[in-house]
Structure 1
Amino acid sequence: MNNLSYFLTRTAAANGSRPAIFHGETTHSYAWMDRQVSRLANGLVSLGLKPGDHVGLILANNPSGLVSLFAPLRAGMTIVPMNPKLHPQEHGYMLENSESRALIVSASLLDGLLAADPDLPDRLVVIAIDRPAGDDPRIVDFADLLARSADRFEDADVDADDIAWIFYTSGTTGKPKGAMLSHRNLTTMVNTQLIEFNPVKASDRLAYIAPLSHSNGLMAFQHVARAAGHVFPTFSRFTAGDFYRMVERYRVTTAFMVPTIIQIMLDDPSHKEHDLSSLHTVMYGGAPMYVDRLKEAVDTFGPIFVQGFAQGEAPMGCTCLPREEHLARDEVGERRLGSAGRECLFVKVRIFDNDGNQLPPGEAGEIVVRGDLVMRGYWKNPEANRAALQDGWLRTGDIGYLDEGGYLFLTDRKKDMIISGGHNIYPREIEEVLYRHPAIQEATVFGLPDRKWGERVVAAIVRKGAAELDEAGVVEWCRGNLASYKKPTEVHFFDELPKSGYGKILKREVRILVGG
C-alpha cells in the first residue's frame, strides 16, 4: 500500500459509481477512471517500459492528464511532470536530464517540442493525447494505446522511499534541478493537506486551473483518496468570469490559486452575478500577497482562503495559515496576515544563520525544514544535494524569521529569485540567454514590485559598441529561448553598469538607477 496509486484503487473499489471527473458535458465515474489508468499502465508495459523507468508528462488540464498522472505510478514507474508553459527547449532538457523512457504529451504541446528538438532521444517513446500518430514511427496514439490494452492492472509493489515524482525546480545555475519525491514524501503531503489545510469530503469538487505539473497535480491525490470530484475547464486561458461560471455550474468547492489570480478576481466585479456559495477553500501561495489585498479578498469572497509555504523540494506544505486566522482584525492578527502561518504536522521549520546555528524569534536567517515531507535529493546532482541537504535539514534558500508565536514571515530570497504570477524565475537563467545575444555586452536581471504580478522581470543591458538593439529585440530574443513568463517586461539600456571592486555587477545599485 506504499504506492500512491492505492488511493485510486481503494476509492474505485469502495466508491466506483461516484462521479470522479467533470469536463464540459461529460461526467466519468471512479470506476471508469480506474479502468483508464489500468489500460494506460498496461499500455506502457506493452511499449517496453519497466518499474523504475521515468515517464515525462507535458499535459493540458483535461481528464486524460489526470489518468496520465496515475498510470505510471500504478505500474511502479516514476513520473516527471513538466510545466506546459515552459519553452520546448526546456522540456527537451528535462527529458534528457531525467533519462525519461516515455513522454505522454497533449497534442497542443507536441508540435512545439518536435520543432525545437526534432532529434529526441532514441530511447524516448512519445504518446500523444488527441493527436493521430500519422507517419512518425516515434509517436503512439494515446486513445489507440488504451483501446488495445486490458483494463485490469494491480498496483505495483514499491518501497515507500522509491521515487514517485521528479519535480523540476528552477536553479541559480541556469539549469532546472529535479527534486526526487518519494511515495513516502507525497503520502506525508496528503496527510498534511487533509489535517491542516482542508479535510476533503466526497462531496467536494476540485477545480483544475493550476498546472497538473504543480499544485493541482499534487492536490489530486488527497481528492482521489476521499472520492471527491475533479472539475476540468473548457477554457484555455483563465478569466474571472469563466471561473465564476465553472464554480456555479459544477458546484466547485476547492481551488488552488497564485495571488495574481486572486487579484484578477478582485478586479472583476462580475462575481456578484454568480452563485459562488459552494466555494469553501482557496489555497494560495507561491508569491507575495499584500495584506490590504488579502483583507479585500476575504471581505469580498468570505473566509475561504488558506495559505501555505512550500517548495518543490518539500511540497504542500511546510506551514499553514488557516481560514479562521484570515478573519483576525486586531493588531497581532493583521500583522500575521502577512505571514505564511505556522509549521504543519510532520515537519519542523526553523531559522538558521550561515553557520547552521538556530536563530531566536524575530531574527532573520535562512528558512530550513526537515521531516518526511522533504525530498530524497536532486536527481544526478550531488553538488546541489550537498548545498541543500545538511545534517537532515533542507536549506530552502529563502530568508525569513519566526515571530514569538511561531509564525513564519518571508523577507527575501537568498539567491535573487523573482516570483511573478506564482512562477519562480531565476535571473541567472535569463542572463545566460541575454549574454548569448550578439549585440549584448553586459546584462543583469532582477525583479521589481508589481501590483498585479507580485514582481515583474526587469533587464538592464549594455550594448556591444555601436550595435543597434531595442527593448522589443531583447524581449523577442528571450521569447525564442525561454518560457514566455520569464521574458523581461521592462528593459533599460546603459553605457555601463555599476560594479564592485571585484567586477561584479551591483544589482542593488542598478535597481536604484531604474527607480526601483
Structure 2
Amino acid sequence: MSTVTLESPYTTLPALIAIHGKERAEHPALIEGEQRMTYRQLDAEANRVAAALQRDGLLAGDAIAICGSNSINYAVLFVGALRAGVTVAPLAPSSTPESLLGMLADSAAKLYFADASVQSAMAGVRDRLSMPLISMDNTGVERHYNDWLAEDGAKPAPVDIAPEMTFNVIYSSGTTGEPKGIVQSHGMRWSHIQRGLPFGYGPDCRTLISTPLYSNTTLVSFLPSIGLGGTVVLMAKFDAERYLKLAEQHRITHTMLVPVQYQRIMARPDFDSYDLNSYIMKFSTSAPFHAELKADILKRWPGGLIEFYGMTEGGGSCMLAAHTYPDKLATVGMPLDGHDMRVIDEDGVELPHGEIGEVVGHSPAMMAGYLNKPEKTAEAEWYDSTGKRFIRTGDVGRFDEEGFLTLMDRRKDMIISGGFNIYPSDLEAELRQHPDLQDVTVVGVASTSWGETPVAYIVPSSGRTVDTAQVQAWFNDRVGKTQRLTRVIIADELPRSAIGKVLKRELRDQFLAEHGVLD
C-alpha cells in the first residue's frame, strides 16, 4: 500500500485498485467459493467494465443499477463503474418488481445488471423496463455479462473524479415508507476507507462478507478491505455453519455481521469446535444488539468486538468497543471523533444529557440528500442555533454522564398508550428473560381505549412448547401497569430485512388485518 496515497487528502477507490494491481499484483483481492481474483485481474477487469460503459455512451455522472447476490462479478461491476465516473445504484433483490421499477426510474439508471433470481422475479414487468437488462451471472436474458464486457486488455478513457461526485445511491429499506435514494460521494467513501486503518484493515486483512453488497452495512467493511489491499471472501447467502467453515479455512481477521447473524452463529452447539483465533476485529451494526449476546461473543469468540451506530444517510455515528468497555454493553458507545451528536425534543429544542429525545448527528461524511426528494431531505435535517446541519436519526435515546448513548427505540415504533410513552425495547429486554423464548419483538397496535397498546410476537426456543397466556401473565407480573402486554402471539420466525431489522410495520399491518382495532 502506498503511504503517499494513504496520507493524501483524497484518493478514489479505483485509483487504489490500480495501485494494488501493480504493487500487489498476485495478491488475492476477491474469493467466492473456488473462484479467486487477484488485484492484477481486478484492475484489468475493472478497466473492461469502464471501457464497456464508455462504449455504450455512459458519461461520468450517469448511473447503472446492480441487483443480485454477492459475487465476484458484482464487485467488479461496482469498481469498474466507479472508474468510469459512473454512479452505482445497488438494489435489494428482495424488493418487489414494482419497487424495483420505481428505484430504477428514480436512479435514472442507463443499464440494469441482474442475476437469474431477479430476472425471474421481474419476468412479469420486463416490458416496462426503460433500459437494457444484462445478466450478471450469464444466465437467462439474451445479453450476458461476459459478452457485454469490452475485450481483454481494453482501457477506458481517464476520468477525473472529484470528491463531490456521486459514488453510489443506496435506497433505504422502505420499512417505514417508500424507499429513498441516499446519495453518497466519493469523498465520503474515501473517509470510510481511511477510517479502516485503526481497526486493522490493511494488506494482511482477510474479511468475510456475508451481508449483501447493496447495503451500506456491508460497504463500510468491504471498501476498506479492498481499498487498503486486503482480501475479501464473499458469501452469496449467509449460513451459520458455512460461515464458520469459511472463517476457519481462510483464517479470517475481520467481519461485519448483523446481530441476528451473531445470534445464529453463537447458538450453534458446535461453535466452540471451530478455530477462530485469527480474528482481529468483528463489527456489527444496523439492528439492536443485545447486551447478553455481546457478552457471550466477548467470552467465546477471539478478537475485538465493535458496534457501530449510525445511518446510511451519514449523520453522526457512535462506536462501542465492547472489549474495552464491557460495563457499557447496554449502550451503543460514544460519538466518533469529529462526530457531533445531540438529543432534541419534539419541538426541536436541544436537551441536556440524561434527557430522552430524538438523536441527531453531524459528521464529516453526510449524504448530500435524498435523490430527487428535496422535501424528504428537508424533513431529515435539523439545524442548531449556529446554522450547523444535522441529520435526524428517527431514534429515541439518551446520553449518560460519561457520553455513552443508550437507544430506546425508533421514534415511529414508540408506543403512546393512554398518554404514556412506552419503549418496546424495554419490554423486549424483559421478555427475553423468559427461558423458553428464542426471539421476541413488541409492536404497538391500534386501541380505541388507549390509542395504542403493546402486543408481543414470540418465537419459542427449539424443542420448547409455550403457552401464550402463561407468557403474558409471567411478563405482566414483572412490569408496571402501563407496560403490560395486551396480546402474545406465537410466530415461527420474525420477519426481518436482509440486514436483520425486524419489520415491525409488517407485523402491525398483519395484526390489523387479522384482528382489527382492539377495544
Q: Partner of 1:211 in structure 2?
A: 212
Question: Where does 1:67-78 land on structure 2 (aligned, <5 Å)?
Answer: 67-78=76-87
Name the residue aligned to 1:286.
286
Deviation at 1:380, TM superposition (A): 0.7
Structure 2 match to 1:339: 331
Q: Compare 255-264 and 279-288 and name the one that shifted more.
A: 279-288
Residue 132 of structure 1, CA deviation:
4.4
Please give the alpha-carbon distance, in whole angstroms, between the structure 2 residues aligned to 1:85 and 1:445: 31
Q: CA deviation at 1:292?
A: 1.7
Shift in Å, 1:289: 2.1
Question: CA deviation digits over 1:173-205, x for unaligned, max 9?
Answer: 72111111111222222223333xx22121111
Distance (Å, rounded) in 2 between the aligned partners of 1:182 and 1:149: 30
Bigger mean CA offset, 262-271 vs 299-308: 299-308
Query: Is 1:131 the equivalent of 2:138?
Result: yes
Q: Is the 8 A contact 2:211 2:238 kept in 1?
A: no
SS of the aligned residue for 2:117 comes to: helix
The range that moved more, 343-352 or 488-497, is 488-497
Counterparts of 2:506 and 2:251, CA distance in 1: 37
Report matched runs for 1:407-426 at 5 Å: 407-416=404-413
Q: What does residue range 223-242 of structure 1 map to in structure 2 within 5 Å?
A: 223-233=225-235, 236-242=236-242
In 2, the alpha carbon distance for the partners of 1:118 and 1:134 equals: 10
Q: Decide whether the 8 Å contact of 1:285 with 1:308 is kept in 2.
A: yes
Question: Does 1:120 pair with 2:122?
Answer: no
Tell me the distance in 2 between the aligned counterparts of 1:2 and 1:302: 33
Amino acid in the other structure paired with 2:189 = L
4+ residue stretches of structure 1 with deviation over 6 A? 417-420, 444-447, 483-486
| Alignment partner, residue 515 of structure 2 | 494
**Contact 2:69/2:237 (8 A) holds in 1:** no
Counterpart-to-counterpart distance in 2, 1:71 and 1:491 = 46
> What are the Cα deviations for residues 227-262 of structure 1, in whole angstroms up to 9, with x where unaligned?
1001123xx543321111101111111111111111
- Runs of 5+ unmatched residues, structure 2: 1-9, 384-388, 415-423, 429-440, 447-451, 462-488
Once residues 22 and 274 of structure 1 are traced to their aligned partners in structure 2, the CA distance between those partners, rounded to angstroms, is 21
The aligned amino acid for 1:209 is S
Cross-structure match for 1:508: none
Contact 2:193 2:228 (8 Å CA) reproduced: no
Task: Determine whether 1:401 maps to 2:409.
Answer: no
Q: In the alignment, does 2:114 pair up with 1:109?
A: no
Q: Secondary structure in 2 aligned to 1:324?
A: coil
Aligned partner of 1:324 in structure 2 is 323
- Superposition map of 1:263-274 within 5 A: 263-274=263-274
- With over 3 angstroms needed to count, the CA separation of the structure-2 counterparts of 1:368 and 1:249, relative to structure 1, is same
Preserved contact between residue 11 and residue 227 of structure 1 (Cα < 8 Å): yes
Alpha-carbon contact 1:318-1:344 (below 8 Å) kept: yes
Alignment partners' CA distance in 1, 2:210 and 2:353: 37
Counterpart position of 1:506:
none
Kept in 1: contact 2:360–2:393 (CA 8 A): yes
1:410, CA displacement in angstroms?
A: 0.9
Q: Deviations over 1:108-147 (max 9, x none)?
A: 32221233x222333x122212234655xxxx31011225
SS of the residue 1:50 aligns to: coil
Q: CA deviation digits over 1:195-219, x for unaligned, max 9?
A: 3xx2212111111200001122332
Give the distance between the partners of 1:452 and 1:202, measured in 2 at CA. 44
Task: Describe the shift of the 1:173–1:226 C-alpha distance in structure 2 as closer, same or farther (beyond 3 A).
Answer: closer
| Alignment counterpart, residue 366 of structure 2, candidates 365, 370, 374 | 374
What one-letter code is carried by the residue in structure 1 that aligns with 2:17? Answer: L
Q: Is the 8 A contact 1:172 1:415 kept in 2?
A: no
The equivalent residue for 2:417 is: none
Sequence identity of aligned pairs in percent? 24
- Determine whether 1:12 maps to 2:21: yes
Q: In 1, distance between residues paired with 2:292 and 2:271?
A: 20
* Structure 2 residue 192 is the aligned partner of structure 1 residue 185: no
**Structure with greater contact order relative to length (CA < 8 Å, sep ≥ 6):** 1
Which residue does 2:477 correspond to in 1?
A: none
Contact 2:49 2:150 in 1 (8 A): no
Structure 1 residue 2: deviation in Å? 4.8
Pairing 1:383–2:375 present? yes
CA distance in 1, matches of 2:283, 2:132: 36
* Residues 242-281 of structure 1 aligned to structure 2 (within 5 Å): 242-281=242-281
What is the distance in 2 between the residues matched to 1:200 and 1:106? 30
Q: Can you list the C-alpha shifts for 1:93-119, whole angstroms capped at 9, x where unaligned? A: 11112111111212232221233x222
State whether residues 400 and 408 of structure 1, in contact with CA within 8 Å, keep that contact through their aligned partners in structure 2. yes
SS at match of 1:399: strand
1:262–1:103 distance in 2 versus 1, CA, 3 Å: same
Contact 1:346 1:373 in 2 (8 A): no
Change (3 A) 1:64 1:355: same
TM-score of the aligned structures, taking structure 2 as reference length: 0.77
CA contact 1:53–1:77 (8 Å) conserved in 2: yes
**Which amino acid counterpart does residue 34 of structure 1 have in structure 2?**
D
Contact 1:3 / 1:157 at 8 angstroms: preserved in 2? no
How far 1:355 moved relative to its partner? Answer: 3.3
Larger CA deviation: 74-83 vs 483-492: 483-492
TM-score computed with the length of structure 1 as normaliser: 0.77
Matched, 1:93 2:102: yes
| 1:304 paired residue number | 304
Partners of 1:300 and 1:95 in 2: CA distance = 44
Return closer, same or farther for 1:110/1:400 CA change in 2, 3 Å cut-off: same
Q: Quote how far apart the aligned CAs of 1:269 are.
A: 2.0
Decide whether the 8 Å contact of 1:74 with 1:154 is kept in 2. no
On the 8 A contact 2:304/2:322 being kept in 1, the answer is yes
Alignment partner of 1:35 is 2:49? no
CA–CA distance in structure 1, aligned partners of residues 202 and 26 of structure 2: 16
Instruction: Report if the CA contact (8 A) 2:54-2:156 is conserved.
Output: no
Relative to structure 1, the CA distance from residue 385 to residue 445 in structure 2 (aligned partners, 3 Å threshold; closer, same or farther) is: farther
Corresponding residue number in structure 1 for 2:481:
none
AA matched with 1:26 = Q
Q: Match of 1:363, as an amino acid? A: E
Deviation at 1:488, TM superposition (A): 4.1
Q: Measure the CA separation in 2 of the matches of 1:320 and 1:23.
A: 30
CA-CA distance at 1:313 after TM superposition? 0.3
Alignment RMSD (CA, Å):
3.4
Structure 2 CA distance for aligned equivalents of residues 104 and 184 of structure 1? 25
Quote the offset at 1:383 in angstroms. 1.0
Letter in 1 for 2:112: L
SS in structure 2 of the partner of residue 191 of structure 1: helix
